Structure 1
Amino acid sequence: MDWKNSLATVAFIVLCFVGIPLHVDINSRNETADLFETYIRKYNKTYRNNSLEYKRRYSNFQNSLKSIELMNSAKSSDIGAIYGLTKFSDLSPDEFLHNHLLPGLHERIAKRNYTDKNNLHSYKHRRHHTNHIHKRAVLPQKVDWRTKGIIGAIRNQKDCGGCWAFSTVETVESMNALKTGKIETLSVQQSKPLI
């Protein structure tokens, strides 16, 4: 009888270690599926009726969730970026690269000649003849500019390659909002490169 009780105890323990992870996986899968359905509704995705496309997008979505979890868990403190879902979370990295980034952009930028000697001389001259007063600022640990109404709405540059224009215009909008207290939307299309 003693060996039967021991065997039953071992079997119960093994069942717990095998059964519990299966139960967690089922719940996790259900939560992920529910989250994906919410994602589809939020971003108005249209592949619900195409089962092959749906499966592929769901797989990409699961990979995005893993990446998000990995990046958020790698943070050493509460200060810093918080990663989450975007309208691109159902794309593979290759799809995002192909559809939303310009191929060869890095190489084209590297080929540009940014060594205008007049600008370089002017910069060195100003830097050399400017009195620098160094003050040590007391800065807060964290500032969320979204809650202060300083950051405008997120814009999608699509594949235009004008990231410099978007970042410049949004910086000017934020600087203006800091000074005036209200956010004004400026035109990205009317910005011009200085070079």
Structure 2
Amino acid sequence: MEPKLAVAVFVLFLAFAACSANHHRDPSVVGYSQEDLALPSSLFRSWSVKHGKLYASPTEKLERYEIFKQNLMHIAETNRKNGSYWLGLNQFADVAHEEFKASYLGLKRALPRAGAPQTRTPTAFRYAAAAAGSLPWSVDWRYKGAVTPVKNQGKCGSCWAFSSVAAVEGINQIVTGKLVSLSEQELVDCDTTLDHGCEGGTMDLAFAYMMGSQGIHAEDDYPYLMEEGYCKEKQGVFDGACSVELDHALTAVGYGSSYGQNYITMKNSWGKNWGEQGYVRIKMGTGKPEGVCGIYTMASYPVKNATRWGA
């Protein structure tokens, strides 16, 4: 029986499985000599240097070496079968099967968190009508500019977020002509009703979250952390009930309109985890002379006269 450890050698993520395969044109996958296989310590050292592996103790290093040897043997045995694919060593070659599954696989059927309502309604999968004869012989959206560079989820079971975001990045480019890298971290942090961050989730629920949130932030605005963080998307244009007895000061930094609601953008001083990354949009044009929360009643601003250098 082939050792289960081999699954950790490398991964090809699909929605229904995780498997290992490298294209046979890569010469490194068939470059292991009999000496390497008989005494792989030298290969382990060079592999460790290539992937920047550092271990906390000699004991851990020995344990990783044993896993490495088992994975290497599986690679050699698989490649000798001369199938349609070839295996090779990558950064996961010292990771055991169960450890790999726990750390890097995150596709899960929707399971609500404790106390969360069941809100998902099943929908039918829709195919666009296309005659078989009209389909191109092959398609590769990478060469059509609809795929962002490969990202790294790290030791976080967030593959569901990466899969969802990659699909939205692609369809956005196909429709608009603009390829924008979007935020997986927003899904990990904020899509938490039925999805579970680094503990797993599903793509259809991620799509529902993005639709309900009227989109998703760019990766530059909400970068990936390889771990769960605080949701920075308490968002919207605020027009709720609040006192006009002033007890806090903010700074107006701009104004705009969103879905027919005019607003003033206010910079707060409670850190980036509050509001919209530290800001709040307050509705204007409500007909109240004092403004929402009384923001017009004590406004002030500085001025600075222009001066010449050296004056």
Provide TM-score, normalisation by structure 1: 0.54
- Once the two structures are TM-superposed, the CA of residue 53 in structure 1 deviates from its matched residue by 2.2
Check conservation: 1:152, 1:174, Cα contact below 8 A: no
CA separation of 1:59 and 1:146: change in aligned 2, threshold 3 A: farther
Higher strand share: 2
Q: 1:94 to 1:151 in 2, by over 3 A?
A: same
Q: Can you list the C-alpha shifts for 1:123-153, whole angstroms capped at 9, x where unaligned?
A: 48xx6xx99342322424xx77778874512
Across the two proteins, how many residue pairs are aligned to each other? 152
Aligned alpha-carbon RMSD (Å): 4.1
Distance in 1, matches of 2:80 and 2:176, equals 38
Q: Any stretches of 5+ residues in structure 1 without a counterpart? A: 1-23
Q: Does 1:84 align with 2:82?
A: no
Unaligned runs of 5+ in 2: 1-32, 113-117, 192-205, 210-311
CA change 1:63–1:177 in 2 (3 A) is farther
Q: How far apart are the structure 1 equivalents of 2:79 and 2:175?
A: 33
Q: Distance in 2 between matches of 1:98 and 1:40?
A: 22
- The whole-number CA distance in structure 2 between the counterparts of 1:144 and 1:66 is 34
Q: Which residue of 2 aligns with 1:13?
A: none
2:161 counterpart residue number: 165
Residues 138 and 85 (structure 1 numbering): CA distance in 2 closer, same or farther, change over 3 Å?
Answer: same
1:62 matched residue in structure 2: 69
**Per-residue deviation, 1:98:** 3.9
Q: How does 1:11-30 map to 2 (within 5 A)?
A: 26=35, 28-30=37-39
Alignment of 1:120-135 (within 5 A): 120=123, 123=124, 132-135=129-132
Amino acid of the structure 2 residue aligned with 1:185: S
Rounded Cα–Cα distance in structure 2 between residues aligned with 1:69 and 1:148: 36
Partner Cα separation in structure 2 for residue 63 and residue 86 of structure 1 = 14
Q: Is this contact kept in 1: 2:44–2:68, CA < 8 A?
A: yes
Q: What residue number does 1:139 align with?
A: 137
1:61 is displaced (CA, Å) by 0.9
Deviation at 1:174, TM superposition (A): 4.2
Q: Name whichever structure is richer in helix by fraction.
A: 1
- Matched to 1:169, the amino acid is V
Normalised TM-score (structure 2): 0.37
Letter matched to residue 77 of structure 1: S
- Alpha-carbon deviations, 1:65-112, whole Å to 9, x = none? 23334455567436xxx543332210211222344457xx75xx2656
Structure 1 vs Structure 2: percent identity of aligned residues?
A: 30
Distance 1:173 1:67 in 2: 36
Indicate the residue corresponding to 2:21 in structure 1.
none
SS in 1 for 2:185: coil
Residue 181 (structure 2) aligns with: 185
Is the Cα contact below 8 Å between 1:157 and 1:166 reproduced in 2? no
In structure 2, how many angstroms separate the alpha carbons of the residues matched to 1:72 and 1:25?
A: 14
